Every structure is written in C-alpha cells, then in structure tokens.
C-alpha cells in the first residue's frame, strides 16, 4: 500500500507535549487529506521519560500514527531511520518535523503548495527562539557550508522539510556511512548542489516551553566541530554523489 504522505518525527524525552504534537499533526493529515493514505511516523529515540509509554497508550486513538521504538542513537539517527521507514512504505512525499512543539502545523501548507516545483523544499526559521549558543552555532554552520561548498542555505538543518519520496531514496543512498551527526545538513547540501531550488520558505518558530534541550554549552561546541569535520571530509566525495542525483526528477502536475 503506497502512501501520499508520511510525516517523520523523532522524539526524545517529550512526555509533557508528545500527545499534543501527535494530535496537531494527525489532525492536519485528517483535515487536509481526508481520502488519502497518510501516516505520522514517530521514532522514539530511547527516551528516558514516559514518552515511549505515552505513544504506546495513544496509538490506538490515532489510526494514522505509527510508533517506532529504538535505542538512543541521537536525533540524526532517529531522523534517518524515520526516513527509511517512510521510503519503505512507498511514500510519495515525506515531511520531517520535530516533536518539541516549536513549529506550527498549518505552516506545512506553505511547503506543500510548492511540491510540484522541486523535490526538496525547506522552511527556515525567520525568527528563531533558541539559546544564544545555538543561534551562534547555526550561523557558523551556515557560513561553513558556504565556505566549503560554495552554496548558501538559509537553514540547512531545519526540521521542517518536504521531500519527494523517489528523491529521498536517492539521497539516502548517497548519505555517508556511518550516519553523520546532522544528516539533514548533508541532504540539503546534496539537493542544492544537484541544482534543485530549496525555496527556503519562512515559517514560525516558537519558544520551547517543555522538555529538555539535549545539547548545550561545551557539548554544543564539540558537536559543531564534529559537524564541520564531517562536512569538510564530505566535500571530497560530493562530486560523485551529486552525479547520482542529477537524473531529472519527474515534474508532478
């Protein structure tokens, strides 16, 4: 059974908000696609709180919800595993967002209406409500990508992206192994260097009011250095990988 759309959502220690977020996104699927096969795939990344138990309790209440449990592997690992699950379900489109209730589900429409124009569409946080250290790291990564790859992406790691399923399958085949810390950055760079317009559509970002930010202070700096090294190394592999992506994607009316 193929799906029109799968939403991929990693979750880690979000017991206070996970049911609210699941309801928001399953309501959007029901409202916007009442006659289509769609799924919300939530990947519980080894949460230490009640997130996993809550997901298991509510899954019968939300028929479109698919819960995947895995040992803790980090946000990027959970995202990639969610992508692979969506591709295995033969999803025509895959949308990725986060479970921390910092985004507005209605902003999905801004990306969806562009779906025929590009196989890879990004939002960007026009005004971002995160800790100053995170904002600084984002700027460093943005200019690192521009320096290393000669391409500028407003918000390459944003968890608010719409990807055509056939294109995501090709992207995942070119993703470095082992999975990078921030795979969404690599997917965005490959799509951009393959010549696709990512659009970079402004969306609303809200302040986090629940849950725990998992990477802060010196750990955040360490992650930034790790990501820079991974990106620099990937530069030497990029040419061959982009060739595999440049076969024209079908234009969907």
Q: Which residues of 110-139 are buried (b: 16+ CB within 10 A; e: fewer)?
A: bbeeebeebbbbbbbbeeeebeeebeebbe
Residue 178: cis peptide before it, omega within 30 degrees of 0: yes
Domain ranges of the chain: 3-245
Q: Which fold has domain 3-245?
A: Spore Coat Polysaccharide Biosynthesis Protein SpsA; Chain A (3.90.550)
In 3D, which of 6, 78, 16, 12 has the Cα closest to residue 47? 12
pLDDT < 70 regions, the chain: 1, 129-138, 210-221, 247-253
- What pLDDT, on a 0 to 100 scale, did the predictor assign at position 144? 79
- Token pair 């919300």 is at which residue? 40
Residues 92 and 2 sit within 8 Å (Cβ to Cβ):
yes
- What pLDDT, on a 0 to 100 scale, did the predictor assign at position 136? 67
Residues 39 and 67 sit within 8 Å (Cβ to Cβ):
no
Neighbour count for residue 251 (Cβ, 10 Å): 9
- What pLDDT, on a 0 to 100 scale, did the predictor assign at position 251? 56
């Amino acid at each position: 059974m193929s799906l029109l759309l799968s939403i991929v959502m990693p979750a880690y220690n979000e017991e206070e908000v996970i049911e609210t977020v699941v309801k928001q996104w399953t309501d959007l699927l029901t409202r916007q696609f009442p006659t289509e096969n769609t799924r919300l795939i939530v990947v519980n990344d080894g949460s230490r709180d009640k997130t996993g138990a809550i997901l298991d309790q509510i899954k019968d209440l939300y028929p479109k919800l698919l819960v995947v449990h895995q040992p803790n592997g980090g946000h990027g690992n959970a995202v990639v595993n969610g992508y692979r699950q969506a591709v295995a379900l033969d999803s025509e489109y895959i949308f990725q967002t986060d479970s921390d209730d910092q985004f507005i589900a209605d902003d999905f429409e801004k990306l969806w209406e562009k779906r025929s124009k590009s196989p890879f569409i990004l939002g960007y946080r026009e005004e971002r409500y995160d800790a100053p250290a995170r904002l600084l790291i984002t700027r460093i990564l943005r200019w690192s990508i521009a320096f290393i790859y000669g391409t500028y992406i407003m918000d390459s790691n944003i968890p608010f992206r719409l990807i055509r399923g056939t294109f995501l399958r090709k992207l995942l085949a070119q993703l470095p192994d082992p999975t990078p810390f921030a795979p969404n950055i690599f997917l965005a760079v490959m799509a951009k260097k393959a010549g696709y317009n990512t659009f970079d559509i402004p969306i609303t970002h809200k302040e986090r009011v629940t849950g725990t930010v998992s990477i802060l202070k010196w750990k955040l700096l360490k992650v930034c250095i790790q990501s820079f090294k991974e990106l620099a190394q990937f530069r030497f592999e990029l040419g061959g990988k982009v060739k595999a992506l440049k076969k024209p994607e079908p234009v969907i009316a």
